[in-house]
Structure 1
Amino acid sequence: MKKLKVHYFQHIAGEGFGSCYPYLKAMGGEISATEFFALPKELNIDIDALPNIADVDLLIIMGGAMSVNDEANFPWLKIEKRWIRRYLASQKPAIGLCLGAQLIANALGARITKNPIPELGWSAVHKTVHIDDTTFPLPNDLEVMQWHHETLELPKGAIRLAESKACLNQIYQIGKNVLGFQFHPEITPEGLSLFIKHEEELNSFHECAAQQLPLLRQTQKQRFTAGNQMLHRAIDYVLRA
C-alpha cells in the first residue's frame, strides 16, 4: 500500500506539528517539513528548493508570528505563496492553520488586513447559518484557541463555514479539498506553552480580545480535545476529496 506523504510548512521554531503528528503517524503517514524559520531573512530561495508537488499527498500550513504581507523582511514568503498556488492548482488536499489559512487566501488573491480586535486565548466560534451538508460538518458552537492580529478576506470560490463576534472569517472551505482555520485547532499543552513564552517576550497583544496569560497557563488538558478532534476530521475530509 502506498504511504501517505504529508508535508507541512513551519514558520516558528519549536512550534512543531501539534496534534497532527500523532494522528497522521497512526495513519502510517510519511511526514516531512519545510522549516522557513531556519532560513536567513536575506536568503532568496528558489521555488525548486521546495518539495516536488508530485511528492506531496497532503499539505498542512502552520501558523507564524509574521504577516503574510511582510515579504520585505521575509523574502521567502513570496516563494512560499507561489508554491502554494501551484499546489492548489493540482487540486490536492490542503489545510491552513492561522497564518497558514491567511497564506492560502493571499496566494489566491485575497487581502490580509489587521483585524479590528486582535484575538488571544480561548473563544467561541459559531457555524455559519446558511451552510449545508455539502460542506465540512461542524458543531453549531466550538471553543477554540485564537492567537492572531490579522484577518483574511475570503478568496474567490471560498465558503465561510464559521465566524465569531471579533473576527468574521474563522473557517473557510474551497471545493472539497481545502480548509482554512483562522485559529489553532492543532494546539496542544506544549504548543500553548510556546505561544505564551513568545507573548511574554514580545508583549505584542494590546487592546485585544484576550485572556490573561496566567489563566491560559492553567488550561486543563481536556479543553484541547474538541479542536484536535475537529482537525483530525478535517484531515480525513480533505483526503477523501
Structure 2
Amino acid sequence: MKTALIIRHVPHEGVAGYRQPIEDAGYDVLRVDVTDPGFATLDLREPDLLIMMGGPMGVYEQDRFPWIACQRRRLALRLEADRPTLGVCFGAQMMASALGAKVHLGPAKEVGFHPVQIHEHAADGPLRHLRGVPVLHWHGDTFTRPEGVEVLASSRLYEHQAFRRGKNLLALQFHAEMGEDPRFDDWMEQWPEAVVEAGGCPRALRRAHDELGPGAVAAGRAMISDWLSALN
C-alpha cells in the first residue's frame, strides 16, 4: 500500500477533512509530530505522499523552533526530487521557503470564512471546486513567489493563496480541510485575539463555522481528490 505521512506541527492542526480523500486514494495514512524523538532522523523523501499541516509559528522563527531548519533542509531534498507534497498554511510557507522564497509577516491577520479568487489559468484544475465557496483562513504570514511555481489563487489581502509546481507539488494557504473537525474549538480557545485583530467577532466566526464549514470541507475534499488522481 502507498504511504502518506502527515507532519503535525501542533496537535490541534491535523489533516482533518482531507483524510477521507487521501484514504480513498489508497494511502495508508501515518502521522508524526515534530516533537517526536525520531522526527529529526526521518528521510522525508521516502513517503509516497507528504502532507505538512499548519501551526502558529513562523518559518522565520528558527531560533525558537530549531526543528524548522532541519525540516526545511529535508523538505528541499524531497521537492528537488519532485515527490508528491501537500502543504497547508504553515506547511505551504515551508514549501515556499524550501523552494527559495522569503516568508514574512503579512499586511494584516486574515481570519474567517471567505472565498478565494481562482486564477483563470487554474479554472479547470482541482481548485475549481472552491469557486465561490467560503473557506476558512487563519494566518498572518505570507511569502514571495518561489521560482518556477504557478500561483493558483489569491484573496483581497494576500496574493499568494495557493501555488503548484507541475502535478506533484501543491501549497494552500487557506484551510479547506476545516469545517467539521472539533479541533476548531481549540483554535478558538487558543487564539481568540487573532479573530479580533482581523476585525472579526469570535461568536460570529463560530456561527460561520457551523453554517459554512460542511460546504467548505466538501469542496476541499473534492479538490484534494482531483489533485491526488493526477499525481505522477
Coarse TM-score class (shorter-chain normalised):
0.7 to 0.9
* Counterpart position of 1:42: none
1:167 paired residue among 123, 145, 158: 158
Once the two structures are superposed, residues 180-236 of structure 1 have per-residue CA deviations (whole angstroms, 9 ceiling, x without a partner) of: 111111113413212101113xx345642x431111222354622343234333344
TM-score normalized by the length of structure 2? 0.87
**Distance change in 2, residues 1:227/1:89 (3 Å):** farther
Deviation at 1:7, TM superposition (A): 0.3
Residue 223 of structure 2 corresponds to residue 240 of structure 1:
no
- Does the 8 A contact of 1:10 with 1:37 survive in 2? no
Post-superposition CA distance 1:85-118 (Å, at most 9, x none): 1111221211110111100001111011111111
Cα 1:227–1:157, aligned 2, differ >3 Å: closer, same or farther?
farther
Written as runs of structure 1 = structure 2, the 5 A alignment for 1:220-235 is: 221=210, 223-232=212-221, 233-235=223-225
Aligned equivalent of 1:58, options 49, 70, 74: 49
> SS of the residue aligned with 2:116?
strand
Which among 18, 33, 36 is matched to residue 35 of structure 1?
A: 33
Q: 1:46 to 1:225 in 2, by over 3 A?
A: closer
Q: Is the 8 A contact 1:7 1:60 kept in 2?
A: yes
Letter in 1 for 2:106: N
Q: Using the TM superposition, name which of 181-190 and 220-229 deviates more.
A: 220-229
User: Judging changes above 3 Å, is the alpha-carbon distance between structure 1 residues 125 and 95 closer, same or farther for their aligned structure 2 residues?
Assistant: same
Question: Which moves more between the two structures, 29-38 or 57-66?
Answer: 29-38
Match of 1:143? 134
- The corresponding residue for 1:128 is 119
Contact 1:127 1:141 in 2 (8 A): no
Alpha-carbon RMSD across the aligned residues, in angstroms, is 2.3
Pairs within 5 Å for 1:101-120: 101-120=92-111
Residue of 22, 40, 63 corresponding to 1:72: 63
Higher helix share: 2
Quote the offset at 1:121 in angstroms. 1.1
Distance 1:26 1:131 in 2: 24
Query: How far is the alpha carbon of 1:78 from its aligned partner?
Result: 0.5
Give the stretch that moved more between structures: 102-111 or 149-158.
149-158
Out of 217-226 and 13-22, give the one that drifted further: 217-226
Specify every segment of 5 or more residues in structure 1 that has no aligned partner in the other structure, as ranges.
40-44
TM-score (norm 1): 0.84
3-state DSSP of counterpart to 2:106: strand
Find 1:19's aligned residue among 9, 17, 35: 17
Give the Å deviation of 1:53. Answer: 2.2
Aligned length: 228
